[in-house]
Amino acid sequence: MRISANLGFLYTDLPLPDRIRAAKRDGFDAVECHFPYDTPVAETRAALDETGLPMLSLNTAPGRPGTGDFGLAALPGRAEEARAAVAQAVAYGAAVGAGWVHVMAGKSAGAAGAEEAFRATLSLACDLAAAQGMGVLIEPLNPRDVPGYHLSTVEQAAETIAALGRDNLKILFDCYHVQITQGDLTRRFAAHLPLIGHVQIAAVPDRGDPDHGEIRYDWLLPAFAEAGYRGDVGAEYRPRGGAPAWLPPLRAALGSAPV
């Protein structure tokens, strides 16, 4: 498994190209990001080429600044904005060689027509991404951190994927969110393995470095590999500072995992 630095949370005092360089310095195998759109594509691409790190994924833009938007795809009445966000993400992602676009659903709060809006946006996203050889991710988020978010369980995400029947639409299985909302990570992961495209990690409950708290990632990630997962792992956590001391031990634990 490649371990990726999520640059939405890591090295945030630096411009995006320097975050990529910092991830290389600290020993990560790849990077992923949230919203890179303020950084010219050429600058991001140059830093990726310089370091040799692949950009695994990026998010669609969250919406209008200062409004509390947390995605647009499942918001009835905002289809035009949602489509524009998808097109922007796919274009930027393709230009930097990203493999995935995470389409942010938004805080639908159970509004009528939300799932229909979500599926329509995702259908477009899958079409645009497929044309670039990319995939689309959807992510259940816990209601403590993001109240009212449209997706809160793995099963709900799986139902959406089954309804659309698109081969390049997968679940972003964020262990932090799933543990808080549902738990039973090992069995839930194995039950949905064919639908899982990417994994993210952080400590629970504080979302800190993934070397403490409720989840033993040095056990869990090898278990995911044993179940058959061959994808990547994104470190999306709020760092305590300094180099990621947890990374070498976790890499050692994964050293004997199936590849």
Please check whether residue 203 lies inside any domain of the structure.
Answer: yes
In the predicted model, is pLDDT for residue 150 greater than 70? Answer: yes
Over residues 1-17, mean pLDDT:
97
pLDDT band, very low/low/confident/very high, at 256 (cuts 50, 70, 90): low
**CATH code for the domain in which residue 186 is found:** 3.20.20.150
> Tokens 């050429």 sit at which residue?
42
Q: How many angstroms separate the CA atoms of 54 and 35, rounded?
A: 16
pLDDT digits (tens, 9 = 90+) for 231-245: 999 999 999 988 899
pLDDT digits (tens, 9 = 90+) for 69-116: 999 999 999 999 999 999 999 999 999 999 999 999 999 998 999 999
Please check whether residue 259 lies inside any domain of the structure.
Answer: no
Do you know the residue count of the chain? 259
Catalytic residue among 139, 155, 159, 226, which? 139
Residue 80 designated active-site: no
Please check whether residue 71 lies inside any domain of the structure.
Answer: yes
Please check whether residue 176 lies inside any domain of the structure.
Answer: yes
Please check whether residue 38 lies inside any domain of the structure.
Answer: yes
Q: How many angstroms separate the CA atoms of 257 and 259, rounded?
A: 6
pLDDT band, very low/low/confident/very high, at 259 (cuts 50, 70, 90): very low
Over residues 35-58, mean pLDDT:
98
pLDDT > 90 in the chain, percent: 94
Q: How many angstroms separate the CA atoms of 17 and 43, rounded?
A: 6
Q: What does DSSP assign to residue 55?
A: B
Q: When comparing pLDDT for 111 and 259, which is higher?
A: 111
Q: Cα 145 from chain centroid?
A: 16
Over residues 172-180, mean pLDDT:
98
| pLDDT computed for residue 113 by the predictor | 96
Q: What does DSSP assign to residue 105?
A: B
pLDDT band, very low/low/confident/very high, at 66 (cuts 50, 70, 90): confident
- Spatial contact of 190 and 182, defined as CB atoms under 8 Å apart: no
Peptide bond into 65 cis (omega under 30): no
Report how far apart the first and last C-alpha atoms of the chain are (Å, whole number): 7
| pLDDT computed for residue 258 by the predictor | 47
Catalytic residue among 32, 81, 115, 236, which? 236
User: Which residue segment(s) compose the domain that 97 sits in?
Assistant: 3-254
Please check whether residue 17 lies inside any domain of the structure.
Answer: yes
Total count of domains within the chain: 1
In the predicted model, is pLDDT for residue 51 greater than 60? Answer: yes
Residue 139 designated active-site: yes
Please check whether residue 45 lies inside any domain of the structure.
Answer: yes
